[in-house]
Amino acid sequence: MKKGILNAEQKFNIGGQAVIEGVMFRGKNFWSVAVRREDGSIKSDVFPLNLRYQKSRISKLPFFRGVFILLDSLYLGYKALEYSAANAFDEDVKIEGKEFGFAGFLAALIAVVLFVLIPLFATKYLVGVQANKNSFLFSLVEGLIRLSIFIFYLFGVSLLKDIQRVFAYHGAEHMVIHAFEHEGVVDPKRASRYSPLHLSCGTSFIVFVLLIMIVLHAFIKGPFLVAFAIRLLLIPLVAGISYEFVRFARRHEESLLVKILSFPGLLVQKLTTRKPDLSQLEVASHSLKVLLDSENISYKATSL
C-alpha cells in the first residue's frame, strides 16, 4: 500500500488505550482491539464507533466537547476492557455491567477523596483559610499536594507485575502510532525505534487537569464546604480546557511553547509506560492495521 499521508484532523482522530494483554485504537468511524491469547495467537475485531454522548450541538463546541469526548472515551474504554477480559484468557472471564458500574462509582469516589478533599483539607491545615492575601499560595500548595498524591499512586501501582504488562502495552500503543504518524508505517520492528511517550496520552491529559486546577482554584474563596463544592463543579470546565490544550498540542507538537507545557506530562508518562517486547508491539500493530483498513486510510507495511 502507499505510504499514509495524514492531515491534522486524521492525525488527531486516532487515539488508543492499553487493555488486558492488548491494545485498543479509536478512529473517526471505527474502533479496533487486539489481544494476545494464552495460546500465543492474536485475537482482534473492529466495531463501528457509536458515540453515545456527542450528538448534541453543544458537544461540538470548544471547551464543552472535551467533557462529552471524555464520557465517550470512558464508555469505549469499558467496552475494550470487556473484550480483552473475554478473549485474552482460556477461561471465560466477563466484566458485568453492574460490577463495572459499581467499580466506576467507587473509583470516582476515591478520586474525589484523594484529589479534591484531602488536598483541600491538608492545605487548610498547612496554610490556613484561603483568603485574598494567600490565595495563590493556597492553590499552589494544594496543587502540589494533589500532584504528589497522583505521582505516588502511579509509582505504587507500577510495582505490580500485572500493571507493568499493561504499561508495556501502553508503551506499545504509543510507539506504533509514532511510527505511523511519522512514516506512514505500521510495523512492530520499525515501531521499536520510537519513544513510548506521546503528547496526547491520557496521562498527560490528567497532568494538564492537575496544573489547570492550580490556576482556577486560586480564585475560589469561602468556607470549606463551599470551596469543596465549587471545586467539584469546576471539574467539567477543567476537563474541557485540558482537552483543548491536548488538541492544540497534537497539531503543533513542534512548537517550543507546546514542548515546554507538555514536558510535565511526558515526564509522568515515564511511570505509566514501559518498553514493550516485540510480541507486544505485534499486537499493537495488528490492532492499528485493522482500524486503518476499516477507516480506509493507507499505510505501508515493512519489516526493514
In a domain, 301, yes or no: no
C-alpha cell of residue 295? 477507516
Residue 303, amino acid: S
220 three-state secondary structure: coil
How far is residue 242's CA from residue 206's CA, in Å, rounded to a whole number? 8
Burial 131-146, CB ≥16 within 10 A → b, else e: eeeeeeebbbbbbebb
Query: Does pLDDT of 159 surpass 50?
Result: yes
Q: Which of 95-99, 141-145, 296-300 has the lowest mean pLDDT?
A: 95-99
Is 18 a member of any domain? yes
Q: Is the pLDDT of residue 193 over 80?
A: yes
| Domain presence at residue 235 | yes
> Is 60 exceeded by the pLDDT of residue 5?
no
Domain that holds residue 169: 8-295
What is the spatial distance between Cα 155 and Cα 213, in angstroms, rounded to a whole number?
A: 22
Report the domain count for the chain.
1
pLDDT average, residue stretch 89-94: 65
In-domain check, residue 116 = yes
In a domain, 167, yes or no: yes
Q: Whole-angstrom Cα distance, residue 183 to residue 6?
A: 10
302 inside domain: no
Alpha helices (runs of H) in 113-201, residue ranges in sequence order: 118-127, 135-157, 161-183, 188-191
Residue 267 placed within a domain:
yes
Average confidence (pLDDT) over 87-98: 68
Q: Smallest Cα–Cα separation from 23: which of 90, 87, 95, 107?
A: 87
Taking only the tens place, the pLDDT of each residue in 39-77 is: 899 999 999 988 776 667 787 778 788 888 888 888 888
The answer as to whether 128 is a domain residue is: yes
> CA dihedral in degrees (279, 284, 286, 288; nearest 10)?
-160
Query: In this predicted structure, what is the pLDDT of residue 9?
Result: 47
pLDDT for 126 equals 94
Q: What is the arithmetic mean of pLDDT over 106-117? A: 90
Grid cell locating 270: 515515564
Alpha-carbon distance values, 3 to 180, 183, 184, 189, 298 (Å): 9, 7, 5, 17, 6
Q: What is the CA radius of gyration of the chain?
A: 20
* pLDDT the model gives residue 54: 67
pLDDT digits (tens, 9 = 90+) for 22-35: 999 998 889 999 99
